[in-house]
Structure 1
């Protein structure tokens, strides 16, 4: 199972002096909380109750969307309110999931830079991170309360109260504030109060300067950019670094009421199309729990294990298969790595080389439907998600072939029998694998043919994985199903709260007219040097920011900025979207700071310093293949044109 936090703890701080919420090595289901005694017991109960409620909201959401699709397509009796209620339930998952993930220390952040500082500084910086998270939580709660009061009598287009959206966000932000307070107060008293005094003094100093010298005040735009960069380098979780930067901007901009801050964050978490993300993640996790994943991989091992580089090929093919199910790269890495890495060690292969290849297979499969990042890019850049899915297939094939050639050349022959303690009989193995393959075909065919939207197909995938997979393998229990929904709802909160926070930053950037200024410069650059050079520059930019911003935020921020510029230069949006998502993946899973690579090392039980060298050959061939895709757009556009996108 993947750890809930895809960061690697590079800090040298003694974790005994750091509250557990920043112990990135802890798994999601760890039962430790930052407070002890009765307060800790109460906090644990609140967290567990919140997780269960969020899991119930996810389950009800699946039922509503699935039933709505059945009524619309088969009984021709659509339910008008289904989309609004489903979106409201997603808000529950986003804010409550983000709150419980905060309580368990599961939000991703970059602590690599902090780890290079003197040890005496690190505990203070960690404590400052807690105060920043608390400031964001309190600011969001107060802003959300103002928004709730302002819209208390408003209704949705279908006549429902807007409270179905604002109340869950209000309660979720309150829980965030409670959990953030517990985290902040759990450290050594001297560090806690000294850092709070320093933070208050800094805020007071900026406020006094701006009021005393208004002509030379620190501009809101500078606070927006500076606040994000500084907090990101400090190790503040990415979602909260984004939200903090936007909070600074709204607090210092007199023309913007604070309720707009809450409004923008809420607007980034209530879109029906984004429901495909928790649904596909849930389907992938269900496959892992009910044994479908294990049977698919065992079949591949039995068929291909003795071929030269057979294990390497299995890593590549297995990741490609699971990318067509879960939609989440970290879920793919966890499923494949969790099953194959023990077999790799049993057959005496190099686990560091295997870990590097596994990370590169995640890059290769970034555009295989139903990738979460393709859904996010299509949403923020207003591009057909079905078209993006079609556009991503051939490029993924190019990357797969390039990676397979290198993997076979450097691979070895092994005895796959050494990987098994108990071998599944062939009839049972083939039948079990077919159950999973049918699900893949159903997802791909449904989205590509336009039979249903990605959200609707994802709801069918969940029901299929739970019902058909459960009946076929009989490995699901009620407790495992509950744990499955709890984990999926928590991952939903962690992923989509980043999307929500980034929406507020995108709004602030628009107010500052940064997109317009960037557009003018980049259009001039593209006109002078040509669209291909522009594409290369945009790809390099996305590689850098994909590494630093954990992938999805990079797409959310730069997708709406760069896509219109690319279109103005004559680049097809589907081609551009495919290139951007692959480039983002290349940054996310590349050293030295790619968060996806840290997660892969955690999942495979390897060290980053040992993985970097053997994975270099795989990264090099993927980068060369990316250049081929940039200069030959036919790979991205052939299938969309054939299928009418």
Structure 2
């Protein structure tokens, strides 16, 4: 991130305490980047030794998962320091300025409370597990130390964030929070027969936190924390244990690795070469610019795994070309957001990995199940794009001699396509796991950028690792927090109750009706919660019900991911749409109208996926990956 690169130069212009905080943040961010680099090396070398030297590292998966846990909590702390955790601000923005300031202060206090409680409870867990060993014989404390350290980092930065607030809103927000806490404690103590149940406090804390702008991860953790505090039979160290275990899974390592590979593509010239080739080949066609957006997003989605990374990569090259040729930038921005929905089911999308993980279905099978639906949506978007598109003078884009020679350009684009094919072949052939393939993608991207294109400096490489570690912390801390929330609602048997209710709905309206209800639920929560938490909360609840109703889990998973993406990027409040507008330099209100025709065809395509399972299931069945 740009702030990392400029942190050092800004130190001298700050107050002593600010300079110290900046140095600490600089160290924390670079520590996270170093851990990510070590993790890539461990996974890559373990694959090389297993396949080529027949000498596997028995400890590799456990160590790699432990390193990822460290990276997640360190990354979450650094993102907290920069106030970049994702939250829901729609309702807060409706308040007057004074109200927004008080809500922001209340959110900061709650974030501090969660961080401090995580620190204390993880210390209790650390003490409780002293002397225990992991399955491979390593001391258990090695894997709990990251949570303890991460809790300390988050608590320290949360304190700093509170102290930065103006004194007025800071104390104005604190007193109502203390009053609410005291009132609940007093009510439950004095009137135990009418006491608020732990599940009620969980709901109040989580929903209330989201509404006042508490970052999603901390709001989910706050709800689970309130539940544990309200139930004397549950030690708080179990809460810390659930948060820690939520991030400690080897399969989730594919997320930071694919994010790193995608960011490297943006920086090493692979993205720009491929888009320039597409521009020179297709730019003069009617709707050519629009077709380039669709194709480029589809291709980059096969590497980066992150939809916002795809938008950044494609938009960063396409939007200047659109403006130079005098096209409607709002039309292109709207289409770009819709292509991100289309690309939700193109492997190795992060959300496919998360859904497969939480729903206990095959990642490889879900990868293959998403390809034909993505092609269907791409075709639907392409038809509309051509109908409403125009021809442009591509030469305006290259004024000033910015064209690359054609042969090197083709070769440069070819190595990008080779990387995409490598990932696809690895998944379909079962040569390696998605995590191992993602590690190879990282090494490949660095070799191409450093040796072939010579567009990667050591300074830039360090920044890429730092930025990827921070992004991973932001994404996977949501997974960790949601894990503790899921544990609490499982104790309350809420999944069983929802299952009974939804099975009844399924029997009443049939499998297709159930899928349509699930689509509405996922689109709504995808709009307000963002992708990962919506999938984490509802994937494990709805997927078993779908299976009981005879719905193939691969079809259901594909539909749920698309529905979530549709909500995430849909107007008026989709977080992804706001991010797209920010990255393309447009305004949401201007993008919404031209975007609606693309949203309409995506909805039609989604309904086709619901009615015709063959779109999702043909390829996995052909490859024998449905089981």
If the length of structure 2 is used for normalisation, what is the TM-score?
0.97
Q: Which residue of 1 aligns with 2:217?
A: 239
Asked whether 1:459 is paired with 2:459, we answer no
Q: State which drifts further: 117-126 or 91-100.
A: 117-126
1:486 corresponding residue in structure 2: 466
My pick for the range that moved more, 472-481 or 185-194, is 185-194
**Which of the residues 131, 141, 166 maps onto 1:163?**
141
Partner of 1:67: 45
> SS where residue 345 of structure 2 aligns?
coil
Aligned to 2:546: 566
Work out the CA distance in 2 between the residues paired with 1:195 and 1:43.
25
1:463-484: CA deviation from partner (whole Å, max 9, x where unpaired): 0000133211001100000001
1:392 aligns with 370
1:287 deviates by: 0.8
Q: 1:197: how far off?
A: 2.2
Q: Is the 8 A contact 2:114 2:221 kept in 1?
A: yes
Kindly indicate whether the alpha-carbon contact (under 8 Å) linking 1:55 and 1:485 is maintained by their aligned counterparts in 2: yes
**Given the alignment of the two structures, is residue 500 of structure 1 paired with residue 480 of structure 2, yes or no?**
yes
Q: How does 1:131-280 map to 2 (within 5 A)?
A: 131-280=109-258
- Give the equivalent residue in structure 2 for 1:348: 326
Cross-structure match for 1:634: 614
Q: Please, which of 512, 522, 527 is the counterpart of residue 532 of structure 1? A: 512
Task: Tell whether 2:509 aligns with 1:509.
Answer: no
For residue 603 of structure 1, the aligned residue among 583, 592, 614 is 583
In 1, the alpha carbon distance for the partners of 2:232 and 2:4 equals 41
**Residue 364 of structure 1 contacts residue 396 of structure 1 at CA under 8 Å; is this kept in 2?**
yes
**Is 1:133–1:236's contact at 8 Å kept on the other side of the alignment?**
yes
Question: Which residue is 1:11 aligned to?
Answer: none
How far apart are the structure 1 equivalents of 2:558 and 2:518? 12
Tell whether 2:407 aligns with 1:427: yes
More displaced, 415-424 or 146-155? 415-424
Distance in 2 between residues matched to 1:405 and 1:553, nearest whole Å: 33
1:441 is the counterpart of 2:421: yes
- Aligned to 2:319, the other structure's residue is in SS state helix
Residue 368 of structure 1 contacts residue 392 of structure 1 at CA under 8 Å; is this kept in 2? yes
Residues 358-373 of structure 1 mapped to structure 2, 5 A cutoff: 358-373=336-351
- Given that 1:364 and 1:399 are in contact with CA atoms closer than 8 Å, whether structure 2 keeps it comes out as yes
Aligned to 2:102: 124
Partner deviation per Cα, 1:350-399 (whole Å, 9 max, x = no partner): 11111110000000010001010000011000000000001000000000
Residue 541 of structure 1 and its aligned partner are, at CA, apart by 0.6
The residue aligned with 2:381 is: 403
**Deviation for aligned residue 1:30:** 6.9
- Give the one of 78, 94, 117 matched to 1:100: 78
**Are the equivalent residues in 2 in contact too, given 1:28–1:104 (CA < 8 A)?**
no
Measured in 1, the distance between the counterparts of 2:74 and 2:169 equals 29
C-alpha distance 274-245 of structure 1, shift in aligned 2 (>3 A)? same
Mark the runs of 5 or more structure 1 residues left unpaired by the alignment: 4-26
1:366–1:585: 8 Å Cα contact kept in structure 2?
A: yes
Looking at structure 2, the residues matched to 640 and 30 of structure 1 have their Cα atoms a distance apart, in angstroms, of 47
**Residue 112 in 1 paired to residue 87 in 2?**
no
Whether the aligned pair in 2 keeps the contact of 1:324 and 1:369 (CA below 8 Å) is yes
- 1:30, 1:104 within 8 Å by CA — same for their partners in 2? no
Are residues 559 and 30 of structure 1, via their aligned partners in 2, closer, same or farther at CA, if it must alter by over 3 Å? farther
- Tell me the equivalent position of 1:23: none
Q: CA deviation at 1:225?
A: 1.4
Q: Which runs of 4+ in 1 moved over 4 A?
A: 27-33
> Whole-Å Cα distance in 1 between the matches of residues 294 and 574 of structure 2?
20
CA-CA distance at 1:121 after TM superposition: 1.2
2:305 corresponding residue in structure 1: 327
**Does the alignment pair 1:376 with 2:354?**
yes
Equivalent pair of 1:435/1:469 in contact (CA under 8 Å): no
In the TM superposition, residue 499 of structure 1 has moved relative to its aligned partner by 0.6
The secondary structure found in structure 1 opposite 2:304 is: coil
* CA apart distance, 1:193: 2.1
C-alpha distance in 1 between matches for 2:454 and 2:266: 13
Q: Distance in 1 between matches of 2:172 and 2:568?
A: 36
CA contact (8 A) 2:267 2:456 kept: yes
CA distance in 1, matches of 2:493, 2:329: 48
Matched-pair contact (CA < 8 Å) for 2:4–2:26: no
Cα distance in structure 2, aligned partners of 1:126 and 1:102: 14
CA RMSD of aligned residues (A): 1.3
> Separation in 2 of the partners of 1:195 and 1:535?
42
User: What TM-score do the two structures reach when normalised by structure 1?
Assistant: 0.95
Deviation at 1:131, TM superposition (A): 0.2
CA distance in 2, matches of 1:106, 1:116: 20
Q: Secondary structure at the match of 2:182?
A: helix
**Structure 1 CA distance, aligned partners of 2:533 and 2:544?**
18
Q: For residue 527 of structure 2, what is the aligned residue in structure 1?
A: 547
Contact persistence 1:28–1:106 (CA under 8 A) = no
Q: How many angstroms apart in 2 are the aligned matches of 1:570 and 1:460? A: 37
- Whether 1:475 and 2:455 are equivalent positions in the alignment is yes
Deviation per residue, 1:158-211 (Å, 9 max, x gap): 000112211011111101000000000111112222322222122111111110
Distance in 2 of aligned mates of 1:294 and 1:420: 13
What is the CA–CA distance in structure 2 between the aligned matches of 1:608 and 1:231, rounded to whole Å? 26
Which SS does the other structure have where 1:268 is aligned? helix
Give deviations 1:532-575, integer Å, cap 9, x for gaps: 01001101110001111111101101000000000000000111
Find the residue that maps to 2:452 and give its secondary structure: helix
Contact 2:4 2:463 in 1 (8 A): no
> Could you tell me whether the CA contact under 8 Å between 2:330 and 2:590 is conserved in 1?
yes
Shift of 1:118: 2.1
Partners of 1:536 and 1:194 in 2: CA distance: 45
